[in-house]
Amino acid sequence: MKTELPDHVRTLGEIVTEEIRRKLVDGELVPGQRLSEAALAESLKISRNTLREAFRVLTQEGLLKHEPNRGVFVSVPDMGSIIDIYRVRRFIECQALAQAYPRHPGTRRMREAVETAQRAREVEDWVSVGTANMAFHSAIVELADSPRLSTFYAHISAELRLAFGVLKDPEFLHAPYIDMNASIVHHLEEGRTDEATVALETYLVQSERTVLAAYGRRGG
């Protein structure tokens, strides 16, 4: 008897899409940078056509910007984008949390993300702190039990990492919020969804202010 679960065959185009996406959120490719078809195709050892298919997907996700006849560029998240992203985050995360029931499996994932972040903080591994922090908020969105909402949030989230990348200070951006997250999940576990929601909103407002301020100091 064979285990029949390959279901997700990975085509070269998809693999390459993931690879470029990773380079984008990891900061190997920086906002504003132009991605030459010929150069990138050679570097990834794929053909231009396959690369172009990947470009279309990532453009649709908001990570790349396509300017016809000029090329594709890594999206530059300006202040308008950041404001919009945080507006969406408050819009989605707060409501997902507000109408969650405390026994939802997502709660466990929130708890785990907080603990992971705390362990990473002890070793001062701020990149891992950031990753765990993102996982925490993804878990919040999953409380809504909507695949489409979760996918959408994943895109928003990746776009925000692009913005964080240019700031290059994960400690500053994530460390202060670990305890707030702990408090949020604690409220939720105890059934105090109202207080959890208020705490989350406070978090998001404060985080937005921090990011915008840092952004204002830098590129404008």
Partner DNA sequence: ATAAATTGAATTGTTGAACAATAAAGCTTT
Partner DNA sequence: AAAGCTTTATTGTTCAACAATTCAATTTAT
Which residues contact its own copies by CB under 8 A? 9-11, 13-14, 49, 52-53, 56-57, 60-62, 68-69, 84-85, 87-88, 91-92, 95, 144-149, 152, 156
CA-nearest of 109, 107, 128 to 117 is 128
Residue closer to its own copies (CB basis): 149 or 182: 149
Give the one residue of 33, 43, 47, 206 binding DNA; rule: CB under 7 A.
47
Residue 37 binds which of DNA, its own copies, none (CB < 5-8 A, kind-dependent): DNA
Supply the minimum distance, in Å, between the C-beta of residue 19 and DNA.
13
Length of the chain in terms of residues written: 220
Supply the minimum distance, in Å, between the C-beta of residue 51 and DNA.
7
What is the spatial distance between Cα 93 and Cα 136, in angstroms, rounded to a whole number? Answer: 11
Give the one residue of 2, 5, 8, 69 binding DNA; rule: CB under 7 A.
69
Give the one residue of 19, 26, 32, 36 binding DNA; rule: CB under 7 A.
36
Residue 62 binds which of DNA, its own copies, none (CB < 5-8 A, kind-dependent): its own copies
Residue 61 binds which of its own copies, DNA, none (CB < 5-8 A, kind-dependent): its own copies
* Long-range contacts of residues 174-177, Cβ cutoff 8 Å, at least 24 apart: 174/117, 174/126, 174/129, 174/130, 174/133, 175/121, 175/126, 175/129, 177/133, 177/203, 177/207
| Cβ atoms 191, 102 nearer than 8 A | yes
From residue 2, give the alpha-carbon distance in Å to each of 5, 6, 9, 115.
Answer: 9, 11, 17, 38
Supply the minimum distance, in Å, between the C-beta of residue 56 and DNA.
10
